[in-house]
């Protein structure tokens, strides 16, 4: 299925989500450095994108104290094309 695209998302977001999903295996739990070592983006960009993905509900902390992230159910639904673009809009408060 085709994935929805919204203004706040970038190509790096798909790479991060696909890495964390680890298709065909158990989903990964990783810190920003581990993500950066496995995709083609700098650590500063990975950190910013993980925060944005967390704000969008596509990733969540596995362990906030250790900075470990995992893909959320919503992130999996996004990768499978099960979310509409409207569902991905960030709530601005």
Domain membership of residue 36 as a residue range: 11-83
For residue 26, being part of any structural domain is answered with yes
CA dist., res. 44 & res. 64, Å (int): 18
Sign of CA dihedral 52, 57, 59, 60: positive
Residue 78: C-alpha distances to residues 53, 66, 81, 85 (Å): 11, 26, 5, 9
For residue 73, being part of any structural domain is answered with yes
Averaged pLDDT, groups of 10, the chain, 93 residues long:
80 96 96 98 98 97 98 95 83 53
pTM of the model: 0.90
Number of domains in the chain: 1
Q: What is the end-to-end Cα distance of the chain in Å, rounded?
A: 32
The CATH code of the domain that includes 43 is 1.10.10.10
């Amino acid at each position: 299925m085709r994935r929805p695209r919204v203004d706040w998302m970038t190509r790096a977001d798909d790479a991060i989500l696909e890495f964390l999903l680890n298709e065909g295996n158990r989903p990964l739990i990783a810190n920003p450095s581990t993500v950066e070592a496995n995709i083609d983006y700098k650590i500063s960009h990975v950190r910013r994108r993980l925060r944005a993905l967390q704000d969008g509900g596509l990733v969540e902390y596995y362990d906030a104290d250790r900075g470990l992230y995992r893909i959320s159910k919503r992130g999996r639904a996004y990768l499978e094309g099960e979310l509409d673009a409207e569902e991905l809009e960030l709530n601005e408060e």
